[in-house]
Amino acid sequence: MVASRAVGYPVNLDFNYDALGHLQQFSINNAGDPFIAGNYGVHSRDFEVGVLDWFARLWEIKKDEYWGYVTSGGTEGNLHGLLVGREMFPDGILYVSKEAHYSVFKAARMYRMNCVKVETLASGVIDCRDLKDCLLKNKDKPAIINISIGTTVKGAIDDIDLVVQTLEECGFPRNRFYIHCDAALFGLMLPFLDRAPHITFKKPIDSVCVSGHKFVGSPMPCGVQMVRIEHINVLSRNVEYIATMDTTIMGSRNGLAPVYLWYALNRKGYNGLKKQVQNCLIIASYLKDRLRGAGVSVMLNELSSTVVFERPQDEEFIRYWQLSCQENIAHIVVMPNMTKKTLDTFLDELVEKRSIRFKDGKNQPPCVASDIGKENCVCPLHI
Ligand SMILES: *Cc1c(COP(=O)(O)O)cnc(C)c1O
């Protein structure tokens, strides 16, 4: 795979961990609860707690009010957050928008949860009118809600405040709902945008997860999961074998990941990350304008770096640029390693392919109005 052409998947390939290379000679294992010492000596729990404290500050929760750990990625965070929700409310119903990441539906199957798929708007955000209808049909059961802070395909940000307001309107008091925020990609981006709604535990949310290998970038998949400490007791089971509390999904855990994350976050710092996020949004906006200028149907959600556009018709082109596609649409997730120059090359090639394909009018660009809204569609019908 040529790194600079991998534009479809949200991974930042701009990293350098050479300074940590010598750690490979150890088998670093953080099995169990990061806050409780186990018997196995070669661990990086101090770094892990350092990373968690960093995120606690970012997501506005006091050190003594959170529990968390460094996971193997966003999926494990979802598996953990939804498990805590289910253990708190064994008869609860999981509400999740149909555009949420597939790992949420995987969790629902694994845990045999009663799962209600909620409709979305064209932008990709959860439709709170439909959520309301669904909640009202099941008023007697507690609600476990998955909120997507950046959906995978359209980069749409569900509105936490509106979801909470909907719960209130439907008569769900605070002790009858659990909110898990799947912030796999945007959990590290939104906090650095001045205009963005905060991801904050000051709101009535219960857990948040993020992927470490996406925006930060790392050679191995990793992530962070954070939950209110009072909820974690439902998962605590004493495991004598390693003399630690078994509160995570995995047994053995990657001890290199916390060191890598700690290193990257501290090297970049808040200011470095802020600059990178701002730059990604500027480039995403540039890409959107150029696509629109070239007559391609395109959508870019506010505060998002995920540019959604009409799916190219050429499979080889899709593979070459590592585009990820869903039915009639494709997307590019602008990451810090992507330059205007790479995207200009992409655009030139796309424009050339389209001009050949649509030359004599035999082929027409597909209609994507139902995917990204009429206003973003420039197919012959909607132009
Ligand atoms: C990528 C992604 C995930 C899964 O994260 P992994 O780190 O790949 O396990 C979950 N949710 C969303 C919204 C994502 O974009």
Indicate the top mutation candidate among 70, 75, 76 to test ligand 1's pocket, ranked by most ligand atoms within 8 A of CB. Answer: 75
Q: What angle do CA 60, 66, 67 make, to 5 degrees?
A: 140
What is the tens place of the pLDDT at every residue in 156-175? 999 999 999 999 999 999 99
d(CA 338, CA 329): 21
CA 299 / ligand 1 centre spacing (Å): 21
CA 184 / ligand 1 centre spacing (Å): 5
Ligand 1 atom with the smallest distance to the CA of 212 is 7
CA dist list (Å): 27 to 42, 240, 336: 7, 22, 31
- Whether residue 77 has its Cβ less than 6 Å from ligand 1: no
Q: Which residues are catalytic?
A: 304
Cβ atoms of 178 and 113 closer than 8 Å: no
Ligand 1 atom with the smallest distance to the CA of 221 is 7
- Pinpoint the residues of the chain covered by CATH 3.90.1150.10: 270-353+364-376
**What architecture is domain 15-268?**
3-Layer(aba) Sandwich (3.40)
182: alpha, beta or left? (left if phi > 0; alpha if psi -120 to 50): beta
d(CA 197, CA 340): 28
- Whether residue 103 has its Cβ less than 6 Å from ligand 1: yes
Q: What pLDDT score was predicted for residue 246? A: 63
Task: Name the nearest CA neighbour of 305 among 276, 266, 345.
Answer: 276
CA 100 / ligand 1 centre spacing (Å): 10
* 288 three-class SS: helix
Residues 6 or more apart in contact with residue 272 via CB below 8 angstroms: none
What Rg value do the Cα atoms of the chain yield, rounded? Answer: 22
Cβ atoms of 107 and 82 closer than 8 Å: yes
* 332 three-class SS: strand
Alpha helix ranges (H) inside the chain: 45-58, 74-88, 102-110, 128-137, 160-169, 229-232, 256-293, 315-320, 340-357, 369-372
Q: Which two tokens stand for residue 304?
A: 């998002």
- Pinpoint the residues of the chain covered by CATH 3.40.640.10: 15-268
Cβ atoms of 73 and 181 closer than 8 Å: no
Q: What pLDDT score was predicted for residue 111? A: 95
CA 152 / ligand 1 centre spacing (Å): 7
User: To which H or E segment does residue 178 belong?
Assistant: strand 177-182
Centre a 10 Å sphere on the Cβ of residue 18 and count the other Cβ atoms it contains. Answer: 7
Residues 6 or more apart in contact with residue 118 via CB below 8 angstroms: 95, 96, 97, 98, 126, 127, 130, 131, 134
- Whether residue 99 has its Cβ less than 6 Å from ligand 1: no
Q: What pLDDT score was predicted for residue 363? A: 87
Task: Name the nearest CA neighbour of 155 among 198, 123, 179, 187.
Answer: 123
Residue nearest to atom 5 of ligand 1 (CA): 74
Q: Which two tokens stand for residue 281?
A: 């949004």
Centre a 10 Å sphere on the Cβ of residue 381 and count the other Cβ atoms it contains. Answer: 10
Cβ atoms of 317 and 352 closer than 8 Å: no
- Whether residue 297 has its Cβ less than 6 Å from ligand 1: no
Task: Name the nearest CA neighbour of 379 among 288, 289, 295.
Answer: 295
Report pTM.
0.94
Task: Name the nearest CA neighbour of 205 among 160, 250, 151, 242.
Answer: 160
CATH dotted code for 270-353+364-376: 3.90.1150.10
Q: What pLDDT score was predicted for residue 360? A: 83
pLDDT tens for the 383 residues of the chain, in order: 455 678 888 888 888 999 999 999 999 999 989 998 877 889 999 999 999 999 999 999 999 999 999 999 999 999 999 999 999 999 999 999 999 999 999 999 999 999 999 999 999 999 999 999 999 999 999 999 999 999 999 999 999 999 999 999 999 999 999 999 999 999 999 999 999 999 999 999 999 999 999 999 999 999 999 999 999 877 765 444 444 456 899 989 999 999 999 999 999 999 999 999 999 999 999 999 999 999 999 999 999 999 999 999 999 999 999 999 999 999 999 999 999 999 999 999 999 999 998 888 888 899 999 999 999 999 999 98
Q: Which two tokens stand for residue 93?
A: 């119903």
CA 101 / ligand 1 centre spacing (Å): 6
- Whether residue 225 has its Cβ less than 6 Å from ligand 1: no
| Helix, strand, coil share (%) of the chain residues, nearest 5 | 40, 15, 40
